Structure 1
Amino acid sequence: MSTTLVALWVPDWPVVAAATLADVPAHQPVAVQAGQRLTAVSTAARAVGVRRGMRQRQAQEACPDLVLLPDDALRDARLFEPVAAAADEVVAGVEIARPGLLLAPAGGASRFYGSSTALAARLVDAVAHETGHESHVGIAEGVLAAVLAAREDRVLPDAAARTYLDPRPLTDLTYVAMSPERITEIRDLVDLWDRLGIRTMADLAGLAEKDVLARFGEAGTWAHQLVRGLDLRPPAQERLEADLDVSCELDPPAERIDTAAFAARRLAEQLYAALVERSASCGRLEITARTTEGVDLARTWRTDAGTLGGLTAARITDRVRWQLEGWLSGGGQGPLNRIGLAAQDLAPAGVHQGGLWGADAGGQVRARRALERVQGLLGVESVLGVQLQGGREVRDQVHLVPWGSVDVAQRTRELPWPGRLPEPAPARVLTEPRPVRLLTGDAAPVRVDRRLALSGDPAVLEHDDAQQHLVGWAGPWPVAQRWWRAEASRAVYLQVLAPSGALLVSCRRDEWFLEAHYD
């Protein structure tokens, strides 16, 4: 049996969210990109030939004025919350299938407003009034029919879902695939079905369920249930609480840390009071400031276990004071004329999920407090943490950030990085390469010529006044970077297996160095 559902769809939501946050004019062609490919494009961009899936260069050739914005799932979900809240005022039981698409039961709400058509009109008006976004609504039995009807602004009569679905192409199944992995699976299946002569939803619905499961697996069964109009609903995504933020203008601008810290204390108390009033905890604390030169500064910090017991007004004040001290004492920023705090990733207090091995022990909490104390005494840059980033050489992939902050890495790991060392990555990278000698079985130094040929098979590794006879080796892998600059670097890497374990060594200007250890 199928349930009558209402689907509310905001077209091109990733583009709408990104353009809203970046304050891009509505008439400007916009696209969202992940890596080198476009994942969403605006109506204005489509009008000049830009299509989803294009490579960046191809899209810019079609539209030189195209504005490219980064893909950000968290941004899309956060900005979609006002749309969900507006729909929630009209119909109960709203579920977010994905940012840009809502589902809710339509039976009771249709009777309350007099008809399904009236319900659809109410939803469109509520979303437009509260958020200013244009939306489309479809009402039908089953998820697939409701979502497809929303793309056409249709309200289907009862028991009309199968008639509506039967002639449609199987490619329409991708509109209800809620993850990139599922979309890829369905596209592969649709290609297979086309070669088998199964091209419409009626063709697939006519197959026996056990045969579909045996031949096409779980993804095929999922599609088979949808085209039959069954009530197969996608998992609802968690509704995000709206961020809490407070700010104040500084007049006169603050040049001294004590002046800025006094204002920050009032803001910290206001923010903490708002969290207590909402009975919420936050996962991240964003600190922002603006200088008299118009420069915007921002830093985001993880909170202590995200609980009210860990994030007090005093601790917020300390964190803000440390950050403001770093900005003011660093020089070159200028006086501050505005300070702001924002509590992000809100959740009801007391529902914080503990670590994989249980709740934090007292020693871990005390260690965090000690590190924060060191930062308070010596500055936020005195304690550093590590983030992985993109790069070719092993040290290029290490990004040091102040402990507790959530700075974005300088180079994304999703890029291909041609020439990087193959997986697995070494477990321990030395702070500085250690000189070693790599010898052949005849005790001759191993050398690498311009064509990457070794003068002999590596057999002995000498380091720390000790010799290790190698069991095996792999490589070489050349890495040449920034050849057009004075600081150009060229190295050749080898992986060698010694009795003490696997090691990564490099050759630079005919000298060998120990770079890292493998587990």
Structure 2
Amino acid sequence: MTTRVVACWIPDWPVHVAADAVQADAGVEPLAVVRRDEIVACSAPARAAGVRRRMRLRTALARCPGLRVSERDVEAEVRAFERVVRHLEQSVMPRLELIRPGLIVAPARGPARYWGGEEELVGRLVEAVAELGHDAQCGIADSIFAAALASRSGRIVPAGGDAGWLAPYPVGVLGLARHTDLLTRLGIGTVGEFAALPADKIAARFGADGQAAHRTARGLEARPLAVRSAAADHRVARDFDPAEVRLETLAFAARTLAEDLHQRLVAAGVVCARVEVCVQVGDGRSLSRLIRHEGRLSALAVADRVRGLLTAWHEDGVLGPAGGDGGITQLVLRPEALSAATGRQDALVGERLTPADVERAAARLQAMLGHQAVTQIALGGGRGPADRVERVPYGDVAAARRPEGPWPGQLPAPHPAQVFPTRQTALLADANGQPVGVSARLALSAPPARLSVAGSDSEVTGWAGPWPVWEHWWDRDLGQRLARVQVTTAAGQAWLLALLDGHWWAEALYG
């Protein structure tokens, strides 16, 4: 007997959460959710204006100047979606599995029998979500992937028909982003054509990810399960005595447990398809939620999902009041559906990488070298180009530094493409070879004629500025006064220079 899976999808869930946060009407206003300067979701009006997922923010703003932008908050998405999941569990069916905020799956055979058929089950789910003010689309198929894809069109795929139903789809839906172009050039443009290839040839050419995609294309689950006990070997738990109600403490414990679980699975050479989050409440109740993992969520991502669940349960009063029988006495992470960790080689250059590829590579490096070893650039407020850049551990959120200002003396856009780690010695000279100075009235002593940076000399073809900066005037050690000037040269380069204590320095290069 084949398994049946139902998927329930609320389109543009990040947009719904962002719209509530900024008090916008996503059905009327163009709104986009961004992460690291890339569009991750957008409203229907934004799509009508030409905005698309994975588009750079600058391109999106050029297509839709009135676009409202909100930074993605995954924890808020998990927290808000948990209320939807709990409502569905109470009114339609139990044991829902969270793929990501906005998409859940669950075994369909039992609930369909209870409600009188698969169509009736889908109708119940759609109605239950509508009670919360959202529009949902549901699909049913034999595999999780096919069910999730079927939910996009509200289809119920007949039992045993996953492979045939998936066959006409473009091969890009399988998630082999780094190989999609190659497959297309080879004439393999559909899922059906990919499924027809020999499995051993796929494994030899595309590795573990190719094997998983090939199984998916044939209507099977991506990875065969390993026959071993997950609960006895790999579950991690933390007890609290007395019961804990502080979210900060619970979030820290969740992060520690997620890292411990990751290390245990790595040591055992396995990955899990999902993680069950279980908590024991002080009054004896047990709460649980399934998080889809598929070996792709980092320890930090699992911890963020758990934190979102705990926050939602806390805000809704599910954990009970502080003191007495309220709070959590035990937090457990239990991996389920284990399979062998066949691994993959992540490329640094020479291949077209997707954001998911980068996240996986960063997570593995952090697991080996420590959380602080892999950093990302976060943009904040500041007057100079180096002031706007902060390095934070990959996956963390930088503290807000008022990017909108005011920042007197801040350079106008566009910003430099390359900011030097330390200022480079430079000389900006006039036509007589004398250093150009800046007067008290903020005027250059003479028009710049030549620029020398690191021994390279070039004729100046244009300049702008100066922009004065007086920072930390109240601190004798940190205080500094400088003036910045933009200069273009005959070599085709544009420089950002700073005059500090009578000396010229090169701070950045525009390209």
**Which TM-score applies when normalising by structure 1?**
0.51
Q: Where does 1:266-415 land on structure 2 (aligned, <5 Å)?
A: 280-283=245-248, 344=311, 348-351=328-331, 390=379, 407-410=399-402
* Change beyond 3 A, Cα 1:416–1:210: farther
Distance 1:134 1:234 in 2: 34
- Please state whether the residue corresponding to 2:183 is helix, strand or coil: helix
1:109 match: 111
Which residue of structure 2 lines up, in the alignment, with residue 120 of structure 1?
122
Paired residues, what number?
315
2:169 corresponds in structure 1 to: 168
1:323 match = none
Task: Report SS of the residue matched to 1:157.
Answer: coil
Could you tell me how far apart the structure 2 residues matched to 1:52 and 1:398 are?
A: 26
Q: Report the counterpart of residue 65 of structure 1 in structure 2.
A: 66
Counterpart of 1:18? 18
1:187 — aligned with what? 177
Q: Following TM superposition, by how much is the alpha carbon of 1:35 offset from its aligned partner in structure 2, in angstroms?
A: 4.1
Quick one: which amino acid aligns to residue 99 of structure 2?
A: A
Q: CA deviation at 1:280?
A: 3.9
Q: Return the offset for 1:406.
A: 8.8
Percentage of pairs with the same residue: 32
- 1:7 Cα offset (Å): 0.5
Verify the 8 A CA contact 1:86 1:126 in the aligned structure 2: yes
Structure 2: any 5+ residue segments left out of the alignment? 226-239, 257-309, 315-326, 334-375, 392-396, 405-413, 426-434, 437-448, 457-462, 471-481, 486-497, 506-511
Displacement of 1:80 after TM fit? 1.4
Q: Secondary structure at the match of 1:167?
A: coil
Structure 1 residues without counterparts, runs of 5 or longer: 175-185, 236-274, 286-300, 307-342, 354-386, 400-404, 427-432, 438-446, 457-479, 492-505, 514-519
When residues 77 and 202 of structure 1 are mapped into structure 2, their CA distance, relative to the original with a 3 A threshold, is same
Whole-Å Cα distance in 1 between the matches of residues 86 and 464 of structure 2? Answer: 50
Deviation string for 1:25-54 (max 9, x for gaps)? 232222222344322111122233332334
- Report the residue type matching 1:67 in the other structure: R
Shift of 1:171: 2.0
CA 417–83 in structure 1, closer or farther in 2 if over 3 Å, else same? farther
- The aligned counterpart of 1:140 is 141
SS in 2 for 1:420: strand
Matched residue of 1:8: which SS?
strand
Letter paired with 2:31: V
State the Cα distance separating 1:115 from its structure 2 match: 0.4
**1:159: Cα distance to partner?**
1.2
Per the alignment, residue 421 of structure 1 pairs with 420
3-state SS of paired residue (1:163)? helix
CA distance in 2, matches of 1:85, 1:276: 27
Amino acid at match of 2:15: V
For the residue of structure 1 that corresponds to 2:52, the secondary structure is: coil
Deviations 1:98-117 (A, max 9, x none): 11111111111111111011
Change (3 A) 1:50 1:397: closer
Q: Deviations over 1:474-502 (max 9, x none)?
A: xxxxxx999534545559xxxxxxxxxxx
Asked whether 1:451 is paired with 2:451, we answer yes
Tell whether the 8 Å contact from 2:15 to 2:41 is kept in structure 1 after alignment: yes
**Cα displacement string for residues 345-390 of structure 1 (whole angstroms, at most 9, x for unaligned residues):** 869444499xxxxxxxxxxxxxxxxxxxxxxxxxxxxxxxxx9954
Q: Hey, what does 2:201 align to over in structure 1?
A: 211
Give the structure 2 partner of residue 223 of structure 1.
213
Letter in 2 for 1:48: A
1:75 Cα deviation (Å)? Answer: 2.1
Matches of 1:96 and 1:234, distance apart in 2: 20
Instruction: Please say which structure displays the higher CA radius of gyration.
Output: 1
Q: Is the 8 A contact 1:29 1:45 kept in 2?
A: yes
Contact kept in structure 1, 2:242 and 2:329, CA below 8 Å? no
Query: Is the Cα–Cα contact under 8 Å of residues 467 and 483 in structure 2 kept in the other structure?
Result: no
Name the residue aligned to 1:374. none
C-alpha distance in 2, partners of 1:86/1:481? 60
What whole-Å deviation, never above 9, does each CA across 1:393-420 have from its counterpart, x for those lacking one?
7676579xxxxx99534459xx996332
SS in 1 for 2:104: strand
- State the one-letter code of the partner of 2:21: L
User: Residues of 2 paired with 1:416 and 1:117: CA distance?
Assistant: 55
Q: What residue identity is the alignment partner of 1:53?
A: R
The one-letter amino acid paired with 1:408 is A
Structure-2 change in CA distance of 1:205 and 1:8 (3 Å) = same
SS at match of 1:171: helix
Larger displacement relative to structure 2 (211-220 or 78-87): 78-87
Letter in 1 for 2:417: P
- The answer to whether the Cα contact below 8 Å between 2:212 and 2:223 also exists between their aligned partners in 1 is no
Check conservation: 1:2, 1:142, Cα contact below 8 A.
Answer: no
Summarize the Cα distance change of 1:511–1:110 in structure 2 as closer, same or farther, 3 Å threshold.
Answer: same
Aligned positions of 1:469-480 closer than 5 A: none
Match of 2:491 in 1: none
- Taking a change above 3 Å as real, the CA distance of residues 284 and 486 of structure 1, as seen in their structure-2 partners, is same
Query: What's the offset of the Cα at 1:133?
Result: 0.8
Q: 1:234 to 1:278 in 2, by over 3 A?
A: farther
Report if the CA contact (8 A) 1:32-1:41 is conserved. Answer: yes
Q: Secondary structure at the match of 1:84?
A: helix
Give the letter for the 2:169 counterpart: R
SS at match of 2:213: helix
Q: Is the 8 A contact 2:171 2:189 kept in 1?
A: yes
Kept in 2: contact 1:389–1:411 (CA 8 A): no
Letter in 2 for 1:282: L
Change (3 A) 1:398 1:222: closer
What is the rounded CA distance, in whole Å, between the counterparts of 1:486 and 1:510 in structure 2?
14
Q: Give the Cα separation in 2 of the matches to 1:92 and 1:104.
A: 8
Partner of 1:93: 95
1:169 Cα deviation from its structure 2 partner? 1.4
CA distance in 2, matches of 1:234, 1:69: 39
Cα distance in 2 for partners of 1:512, 1:61 equals: 36
Amino acid at match of 2:85: A
* Secondary structure of the corresponding residue to residue 154 of structure 1: coil
Q: Distance in 2 between matches of 1:482 and 1:6?
A: 62
Q: In structure 1, what is the equivalent of residue 228 of structure 2?
A: none
SS of residue matched to 2:78: helix
Between the aligned partners of 2:504 and 2:38, the Cα distance in structure 1 is: 40
Matched residue, 1:232: 222
In structure 2, what is the Cα distance between the partners aligned to 1:11 and 1:121? 17
User: Cα RMSD over matched residues?
Assistant: 4.6
* Residue identity in the other structure for 1:17: V
Q: Which amino acid aligns with 1:188?
A: R
Contact preservation (8 Å) 1:2, 1:230: no
CA distance in 2, matches of 1:284, 1:388: 28
> What TM-score comes out, normalization by structure 2 length?
0.52
Distance 1:507 1:48, change over 3 A: closer
SS in 2 for 1:83: helix
Cα distance in 2 for partners of 1:454, 1:56 equals: 35
For 1:152, the aligned partner's letter is S
